[in-house]
Structure formats: C-alpha cells, structure tokens
Structure 1
Amino acid sequence: MARKVSPPVDVRRSTRRRRTVSAYRDGERVVVLIPDQFSSAEEAEWVDRMLGRLSARDKRAGKGGDSALRARAVRLAGRYYPEYPVAAAPTSVRWVDNQNSRWGSCTPDDRTIRLSTRLATMPGWVIDYVLLHELAHLVVPRHGKEFWSLVERYPKTERARGYLEGIADASMSTPRGSRPR
C-alpha cells in the first residue's frame, strides 16, 4: 500500500494568538499558525486537522483538474473578452507547484497558462482574476494600456489585486517565535 506523503510543515507559534489556528500554503510548504501555549500533542492534532482542511479546500477549488481549470478559463474569456474568441482561447491551463514568486504565467507563443497551486485555496474570484490576467496576455502580451483595459473589465480586479498583495506581504514576514517542523 502506498504511503501518502505530506508536504513540509512550518509551525509558527505566537504569544499574541490565544485560541485561533490557521494554515496556508507557501510554495510547497504548509504554514500552520498556533498559539504559543499549545502543548506538543495539541500542536500535532492541529497540524493534522489543518492539513485536512487545506486538502478539502484544494478539492473544492478544483485543484486536481487541469481540464476543469481550462474550462473555467474558456468561460471567463467568453464572458469578458467576447470579441477575441480565438485570441483569448488557451491551448492549456494547468496548476503548477514551481511558481513561488508569481501567481500565474502565460506563454503567448504556445497559448499555455500556468497557475500556482498557492491559488487553489484562495477564493474563486481571486483565481478568476489571475486567469483573466493571464488570458489578457494571450491578446496583448505586454503590460500596457490596452492590456490593463482588458484586465479591468473584471469588476473585482482591484479587490483581487489587494487580496494578493496582502497575501504576498504576509508571507514575507516571519512571526517571532516561529520554528520549522
């Protein structure tokens, strides 16, 4: 029987945190934030619980299906870029684990889009924004005025950009008392 391999986990303890526990993906690692006063047994229990929750979120977000992700991109392109039925149509859209400094990337020459698996646990409207951003690159490769006018057709553009900036800023800081597990 094959043994399921868990991702590396960093447990970060906080003296300011009293009861809440949270977790998020940071590249291939999982970061679990817990109160400093938790015992080793409580820590282990919460790490297992949070890994389960992240896995369930991944499934809900459709992370496992690149074909579902491509279908989502095609629907979004049809809705927001209807005048570009061919130009905004990707040949493939897939989740990748190797993007730690970008949320998504696009290769206009072969019409492929890749999204970081870090997005899979984020709200759907954030994933839609990143997909639309990358789809816009199929029409306009560079970040110019025409490109941004396409992206800004999505009504939640500013909200999604703020959300992603907040996540990026939060992952840059390491709380005191943190320690890898």
Structure 2
Amino acid sequence: MDIEGLREAIGAGRVEIRRSKRRSKTIGSLLEGETIVLVLPWRYPVRGNEAQLASLITRLEKKIGSVRAGALDLEQRCRDLTARYFADDVLPASVRWVGNQHTLWGSTTSVTREIRISDRLRFAPPWVLDAVLVHELAHLRVLDHGPRFRALVAAYPQYDRAQDFLAGFSAGQEWSRSARTA
C-alpha cells in the first residue's frame, strides 16, 4: 500500500486510526471484521508518517492473507476428519489459528461452534494437528472429557501417540523458558 492508498482506505473506512493515551512509542494493529485498526500513541502525527503506516498495513494484509489461507486448510481438515471419524455432519462454524494460546493446544466454544488452534502447532506433524482437531471436534458433541468424549477421540488411531508428542513438546518449551531465565 502506498500513501495515496492509505488515505483512500482511511476515507473509505477500511482503515481506522485510534489514539491511545496508554501508548507512548509503539503502534498496534488489529483486524476488526474487515476493518484494519491502527492504534497510535496519542501524540503520534499521521502526516509525515504515512509511508510507515502504509508499510505496516501492507505487512498486516500479507499476514491476514496467510492466516485466512491457513484457516481454509483447517476447515477442510475438519470436514475430512468429521467424515472419517464421526457418524454425523456436525461441523464448526469457524476454525482458525490464534497466537494467544500459550497453554492450550486448541479450544472450542460450543455455543458459537468456533474452534481456535494454537499457532504453536503450525509446524507440528500433520497427525498431531489432526489429533488436536479431533479433540476439538469431539467437544462440539460432548462438552466434558467423560467416557463418551474419550470414546469419540479414541476413534482417531494416533490420538494417544499425539498426546505423548504434545506432552514432550510442552516439556521442551518449559525447559527452554526456564533455561533462558536462569
């Protein structure tokens, strides 16, 4: 995006500028619906810094594009896993990667049928990602981790192996964090 594109996007409401008295130096960016929101320090001048803001938006748009493409892959995986391991056609309303899950591998909101998968799994072996998706898909059918839930996830043949992998991965991450702070 160039400076003229930035001005046009602001005028059309595709980009919103918000000021924050809490920010002193950094610029934040986020996506709300289809609107890119730039959160600027209260005294940050837009004029004179338009090239920097346009560059930030370009980077964010690339990231959004890759996240959306990844979400489509997750949705297809969920359709495939549902067809293979569940005797119904219950599908999530959305499945997406998130960067704010540091202790969970995935989470499901049963009311909205949304599944979120930690981006720590982006480079995990496919069978591990599938096990996490099967786990979250099972939560669309059963809320707790009781016998019915365990029977559903047991249908995935590598579920226990994936749990072992994730336990080792978590231990390695914890060890790495403690080694850096020591």
For 2:120, the equivalent position in structure 1 comes to: 118
| C-alpha separation in 1, matches of 2:177 and 2:96 | 32
Matches within 5 A, 1:136-147: 136-147=138-149
Bigger-Rg structure (1/2) = 2
Percentage of matched positions with identical amino acids: 42
Task: Determine helix, strand or coil for the equivalent of 1:93.
Answer: strand
Match of 1:59 in 2: none
| Cα separation, 2, equivalents of 1:161 and 1:63 | 27
RMSD: 2.4
Q: Say which of 153, 156, 163 aligns to 1:154.
A: 156
Task: Give every structure 1 segment of 4 or more consecutive aligned residues whose post-TM-superposition deviation is greater than 4 Å.
Answer: 175-179
Which structure would you say has the larger RCO, counting Cα contacts within 8 Å and 6 or more residues apart? Answer: 1
Displacement of 1:174 after TM fit?
3.5
| Secondary structure class of the residue paired with 1:102 | coil
Mapped partners of 1:77, 1:151: distance in 2: 11
* Cα offset, 1:170, TM superposition: 1.1
Q: 1:175 to 1:124 in 2, by over 3 A?
A: same
The count of residues paired between Structure 1 and Structure 2 equals: 118
- By percentage of residues, which structure has more helix? 2
SS of the residue 1:139 aligns to: coil
In 2, Cα distance between the equivalents of 1:101 and 1:84? 30
SS in 2 for 1:105: strand
Gaps of 5+ in 1: 3-61
Q: Is the 8 A contact 1:104 1:130 kept in 2?
A: yes
For structure 2, the 5+ residue unaligned runs are 3-66
TM-score by length of 1: 0.60
